[in-house]
Structure 1
């Protein structure tokens, strides 16, 4: 086995929990993940949802960096369409100054919420000045590359860290992979949102032809002591694709969210379809066998593990059991 494993965390709230409890579990997860041998832990960005306590990954990243020592911590990812690329560069340069060599800047193209929260986030933003997502990511890369100047009128995204935060583009298309390669960023194929195996094969092949960087794939994984328990947890997980008349496409977690997205966007839905799931569920050995197969077939160098379980004990147990079967830690409790 020659691939790394990492974690994507959304700070989910189980029934009856508060955001404080969910965030405390995220800290517990970060500490345990470091002990279990996970390579990195990323914090997601989601808006206007009472089920997830992660609207501002930068805030949580700083908190986790201060209480861990080795594991890389980052965003999975910052929803760049809402923000100034310069401000994002400032935020992550500051984080990289606090913990040099341990900060990842993952960037996503999706809104991270439904249209009403998007409009609230982008109030007052000039859409023409903002440009395309590719324009914004290029600007962000430019700001991160600025490290010194002899011109007093030049703007720098201070503080300048001793080591630039590592950049990752999250996506599920050839266009995203090509953009990441063009900017020499890492690319993560979001198989947890789009489980189309043919697309994964096409994108991974194209990525290897364009970049010498690793093949990273995000997948949903649930591990339990027995297959029946894992299947029960997995039965509640859904991924739905929405395509609107205005051309917008998004992935959401339920048919209800899909219909709400179309309603809030003010554009009729051309298609609302439950997508093929890439969820891998079973015992630790069963899950390891499937990850090994993906590694061999697609040349995956690292899996970003999304465990879509809100309850604390099953969630932590899933990630512990996975690390244990992959021999990531000597002592697991």
Structure 2
């Protein structure tokens, strides 16, 4: 089974690098991906995190669309609880009007920052509206298609943005189906094969297509170099008694998140991310296995290494075995 490759970029800030320099690396990486034949280039959204410069994906999307020729560009994703559905639909409709057939709108449901930053970001929203993600998704879907509640997005692009829902659960996959959207499963976060199989089976049964599968992947000239680059990478999951959970890069960060979150019992557990690492052939061997096992035709690759040249080299290496991946 052939598959297409796309990239997810969080604009990581490597040691000794400024946020502005990290954004320039993102522009370089996107231009490289366009030249090499990747299918999509997506920008993540995070707020107030020192190691990530991905605070405004809609700005970077516009910039990347302007300096590339072919590749689809979008969000991976816009965190809808922080915004009004109308404005998100409006921004991406304008982008789609400027760049027909090249704009993706990926939507995520998490806040994307520490609690105090989230409160600052959501301060002007109507009380309680941030939690009404289901309502916002329905409104966004309606406005992307036409008039809704007497209001219509203008300008109306000839080809609207392609919507995707990002998630990591069976419930999120079902929500995407209800909206009529494509679904992106966060395999790079949980690495849970049983859950991935259930999500893929649900979507194949309902639509005949599997999800877009997000995978953490990093390539180097040798397997040893790739494994050395990712060796020791861990993340920490903090889970609250009210059901809220979030992944962070350190235990200190998890405890600070819990302090800001408020007086709710919580647990912290250290996790090892599931990363496909090795040579380009190693990467494609694993992607081919996943493609066959779950019926996946689209992968979006999240590179877990911040150093700029290593990321650019990985993008180039993974793109080379073109006979085994339809870009």
TM-score range (shorter-chain normalised) is over 0.9
**Cα pair 2:284 2:324 within 8 Å, conserved:** no
Q: Within 5 Å, which residues of 2 pair with 1:93-242?
A: 93-130=93-130, 132-146=132-146, 154-242=150-238
Residue equivalent to 1:245: 241
Q: What's the CA shift for 1:212?
A: 3.6
Question: Which is worse superposed, 53-62 or 233-242?
Answer: 233-242
RMSD: 1.8
Match of 1:17, SS state, is coil
Q: Deviations over 1:246-281 (max 9, x none)?
A: 221222233332222211101444332233532111
**Cα pair 1:45 1:55 within 8 Å, conserved:** yes
User: Of 257, 262, 276, which aligns to 1:261?
Assistant: 257
Q: What's the CA shift for 1:131?
A: 5.3
TM-score of the superposed pair, with normalisation by structure 2? 0.94
Residue equivalent to 1:77: 77
1:284 aligns with 2:280: yes
Q: Which runs of 5+ in 1 are unaligned?
A: none
Distance of 1:293 and 1:212 partners within structure 2: 19
Query: Higher relative contact order by CA 8 Å / sep ≥ 6: 1 or 2?
Result: 2
Match of 1:243, SS state, is strand
| Count of equivalent residues | 325
**Cα pair 1:38 1:328 within 8 Å, conserved:** no
Residue equivalent to 1:18: 18
Match of 2:195, SS state, is helix
**Cα pair 2:209 2:295 within 8 Å, conserved:** no
Q: What's the CA shift for 1:155?
A: 1.8
User: Of 280, 293, 298, which aligns to 2:294?
Assistant: 298
Distance of 1:201 and 1:214 partners within structure 2: 10
Q: Deviations over 1:282-314 (max 9, x none)?
A: 111111111111111111111100001111111
Distance of 2:303 and 2:26 partners within structure 1: 13
Match of 2:78, SS state, is strand
**Cα pair 1:41 1:72 within 8 Å, conserved:** yes
User: Of 325, 328, 331, which aligns to 2:321?
Assistant: 325
